Amino acid sequence: MKNTIIELAQNLIRRPSISPNDCGCQAEIAQRLEAVGFTLEWLPFGDTLNLWATHGSEDPCVVFAGHTDVVPVGDESQWQYPPFSAEIVDGTLYGRGAADMKGSLAALVIAAETFVKNNPNHKGKIALLITSDEEAAAKDGTVKVVETLMARQEAVHYAVVGEPSSGKVLGDVIKNGRRGSITANLYIEGIQGHVAYPHLAENPVHTALNFLTELTTYQWDNGNEFFPPTSLQIANIKAGTGSNNVIPGELYVQFNLRYCTEVTDEIIKNKVAEMLNKHALKHRIEWNLSGKPFLAGNGKLVKAAVQAVENVTKITPRLDTSGGTSDGRFIALMGAEVVEFGPLNATIHKVNECVSVDDLGKCGEVYYQILENLLNGE
């Protein structure tokens, strides 16, 4: 599979699909899948193109998920090789999206294609969910496909997301879950005035200090076997007019929580409201939930993935839930077990993004063996 994977990865990288543009990536993938008997369904929403391709109709449904969009390249003069040229030098494939995630997407596609060729009457259903809206707003991509599938009661049991999960060597990490992410935009009301007449004003920075201390020192939980404790960070804080003689009339605080399965977004909202009321702060608050936490634990998919990685790389992967969010958070809403496995993440979103050619070949072998373990295993 290796040579075919690299050829497809190069073709995808050469298409400058800055999010949410697809630039023909999915059409090329669809053509390959249709040739081996996959049923194609196009699910465009807004400016986003989504592909749902399936082979087979029985349970369980195993989904390979990925995205064709990439982040901007920045200053092209800083790149050693043109970012959309897909150059291979000394066994390394260079280009925007090489690691995140056109390389692993090519491996997912070729693994599924090869498995179907070798097992035309396989058990279960194999599906590919591909979007062009993962790196930007993530509003019209995987989340909309999931809503569509759930509305028509189409089940997904297992999902492998090809995000670059590996740290130092291929196979050292499998993501078997992710923390939830929720952001608050908090506005605390005061009374603007002259700094020389504080009795005629109310400084919201001063009145909020005790609240902010409690907010930033509160212990939400102790984490669990799979997750570190929930953490809160203030991302932005702003007040004042820019003048040194004006007491501000409003304080803006933006904070984010990366939370584990020991709490919920509702528990977080209620506790913050309790703190604000305790400190008698006049305020308004706006919440944005980016994603709920999900966990595959040590389920059947995790065991199948660990076994596949061990067979191919001779490494026992560490199960990990750290890092940011991914589209896996949307698929998990369907009750599916979700894991993320892919190449090294050392160069993602960087100048000279690259991936090992050998690693991409091994990724394809891992994805193929996961299908073997789930659909042909005992």
Q: What single-letter amino acid sits at 254?
A: Q
| Cβ neighbours around 118 below 10 Å, total | 12
Please give the share of the chain, as a percent, with pLDDT higher than 90.
Answer: 95
230-278, pLDDT tens digit by residue? 999 999 999 999 999 999 999 999 999 999 999 999 999 999 999 999 9
Please give the average per-residue pLDDT across 9-21, as a whole number.
97
- The DSSP 8-state label assigned to residue 60 in this structure reads P
- SS3 per-residue string spanning 80-137: CCCCCCCCEECCEEECCCHHHHHHHHHHHHHHHHHHHHHCCCCCCEEEEEEECCCCCC
Local confidence band at 323 (pLDDT 50, 70, 90 cut-offs):
confident
Please give the average per-residue pLDDT across 197-215, as a whole number.
98
- The DSSP 8-state label assigned to residue 55 in this structure reads E
pLDDT of residue 311: 97
**Residue 378 pLDDT > 80, yes or no?**
no
> Nearest to residue 342, comparing CAs of 67, 151, 114?
67
User: CA–CA separation, 192 vs 248, rounded Å?
Assistant: 5
Q: Do the Cβ atoms of 38 and 29 come closer than 8 Å?
A: no
57-75, pLDDT tens digit by residue? 999 999 999 999 999 999 9
**Residue 194 pLDDT > 60, yes or no?**
yes
Q: What does DSSP say about strands 173-175 and 318-320: parallel, antiparallel, or unpaired?
A: parallel
28-56, pLDDT tens digit by residue? 999 999 999 999 999 999 999 999 999 99
* Mean pLDDT taken over the chain: 96
Confidence (pTM): 0.88
Stretch among 156-165, 296-305, 307-316, 346-355 having the lowest mean pLDDT: 296-305
In what order do the strands lie in the sheet containing 92-94?
A: 88-89, 92-94, 354-356
- Cis before 248? omega within 30: no
pLDDT of residue 228: 92
CA atoms within 13 A on the CB side of 362: 21
Token pair recorded at residue 299: 């389920």
**Residue 377 pLDDT > 80, yes or no?**
no
**Residue 207 pLDDT > 80, yes or no?**
yes
Is 76 catalytic? The answer is no
- Cis before 101? omega within 30: yes
CA separation, residue 221 to residues 180, 224, 231, 337 (Å): 14, 9, 9, 24
22, 100, 113, 134: which is the annotated catalytic residue?
134
Q: Do the Cβ atoms of 318 and 333 come closer than 8 Å?
A: no
Q: What single-letter amino acid sits at 120?
A: P
Token pair recorded at residue 50: 């989504």
22, 69, 133, 365: which is the annotated catalytic residue?
69
User: CA–CA separation, 43 vs 50, rounded Å?
Assistant: 5
Please give the share of the chain, as a percent, with pLDDT higher than 70.
Answer: 99
Whose structure tokens read 């109310």? 202
> Nearest to residue 360, comparing CAs of 320, 301, 312, 325?
312
Phi and psi torsions of 51, nearest 5°: -120, 130
pLDDT of residue 30: 98
Q: What does DSSP say about strands 246-247 and 193-194: parallel, antiparallel, or unpaired?
A: antiparallel
Is 359 catalytic? The answer is no
